[in-house]
Amino acid sequence: MQLAAELMDQGVDTLDAAVEGVKIRELDPEDTSVGYGGLPNEHGVVQLDASCMHGPSHRAGAVGALEGIKTPSVVAKYVLLYTDHIMLVGKGAKEFALSYGFQEEDLLTDKSREIWLRWRANRGPDDDWLNIPKENNLEFERHGTINCNVVNAAGDVSSVTTTSGLAWKIPGRVGDSPIIGAGQYTDNDIGAAGSTGRGESNIKVCGAFLTVEFMRRGMSPTDAALETLRRVVATTESRLLDDQGRPKFGLSFYAVNKRGEFGAASLWNSTSGGAARQYAAFDGREAALHDAAYLFERSQ
């Protein structure tokens, strides 16, 4: 985020700046939520999703279930720049990336492989795999996504979302991150929004698009995100609700408007581990963590 802001100050296009910002994490082998080192599907294969939108040109690009390429956000940008398509998936997305000089690499690091092996061994008491004791240094979240929404001094807006998806997913599963209007959405007249959390619940309400539309009606970024979450709750099937009618899952939305005002909201005030729901934002002076608004409070 800091890098994206610095690049925009230097005159770099908003989309290029946002991609460079998220690419840092995609290339970080210690980050198990995106890119290189992301947690794999149930077969042990890392499949990456990403999408981007460029406000000034009204263009978009996305890739889904991309294997063997560390930076899906960059491949998504290339889809935007060089094709008349918006989304490429699976083998086709990989062949497209290779044709532009991207290098095919094994994305499963020793760390992510060890986490996957332990999940596979411990997933059932009656299978033929020996259960392996849990190790504290292998803590992880099944969900992991980065959404970056940016606006420059001229009011031009772009957005990027990237993820390795839900850990242990059924091979081929694509969540909300590469879907324009769900994982992220940009309207250069209004602003941008994106999401992290349970993608299936976001897809059903076109959450990023809906958040931008609420801002179009005059809502602040935070209020718009909260209103989208209320729509999510209203469309959630009963099996995913607790006995008080609250979602059993987590979902967050992040938004920025054309004036540079930003905000975020989550279903819950904290993670399942008790940590507060926070997001990072750069206000033109410094980058800082902010508490997200929320609908429901977890009992301590």
Q: Which of 2-11, 178-187, 266-275 has the highest mean pLDDT?
A: 178-187
Count of domains observed in the chain: 1
Q: Would 131 be classed as within a structural domain?
A: no
Q: Which of 53-62, 119-128, 263-272 has the highest mean pLDDT?
A: 53-62
Check which CATH number belongs to the domain holding 146 and give it.
3.60.20.30
Q: Would 120 be classed as within a structural domain?
A: no
Q: Would 90 be classed as within a structural domain?
A: yes
Query: Under 8 Å CB-to-CB from 106, ≥6 apart: which residues?
Result: 68
Q: Which of 123-127, 174-178, 279-283 has the highest mean pLDDT?
A: 174-178
pLDDT at 97: 98
Residue 48 to residues 87, 172, 229, Cα–Cα distance (Å): 13, 10, 25
pTM exceeds cut of 0.85? yes
Q: Which helix (H) or strand (E) holds 54?
A: strand 48-54
pLDDT at 121: 87
Model confidence at 139: pLDDT above 60: no
Q: Would 215 be classed as within a structural domain?
A: yes
User: Would you say 69 and 104 are in contact if contact means Cβ atoms under 8 Å apart?
Assistant: yes
User: Would you say 218 and 267 are in contact if contact means Cβ atoms under 8 Å apart?
Assistant: no
Model confidence at 275: pLDDT above 60: yes
pLDDT one-digit tens code per residue, 17-51 = 999 999 999 999 999 999 999 999 999 999 999 99
Residue range 242-269: average pLDDT? 96
pLDDT one-digit tens code per residue, 44-64 = 999 999 999 999 999 999 999
Amino acid at site 139: E
Res. 131 pLDDT band, cuts 50 70 90? confident
Residues spanned by the domain of 15: 2-109+137-296
Model confidence at 137: pLDDT above 70: no
pLDDT one-digit tens code per residue, 100-112 = 999 999 999 999 9
Residue range 234-254: average pLDDT? 96
Point out the residues that are catalytic.
145
Q: Would 210 be classed as within a structural domain?
A: yes
Q: Would 9 be classed as within a structural domain?
A: yes
Residue 265, token pair as written in the block? 């909201």
Model confidence at 93: pLDDT above 60: yes
Q: Would 11 be classed as within a structural domain?
A: yes
Res. 87 pLDDT band, cuts 50 70 90? very high
pLDDT one-digit tens code per residue, 175-226 = 999 999 999 999 999 999 999 999 999 999 999 999 999 999 999 999 999 9
Model confidence at 268: pLDDT above 70: yes
Q: Which helix (H) or strand (E) holds 228?
A: helix 221-234
The mean predicted confidence, pLDDT, of the chain is 93
Q: Would 123 be classed as within a structural domain?
A: no
Model confidence at 85: pLDDT above 80: yes
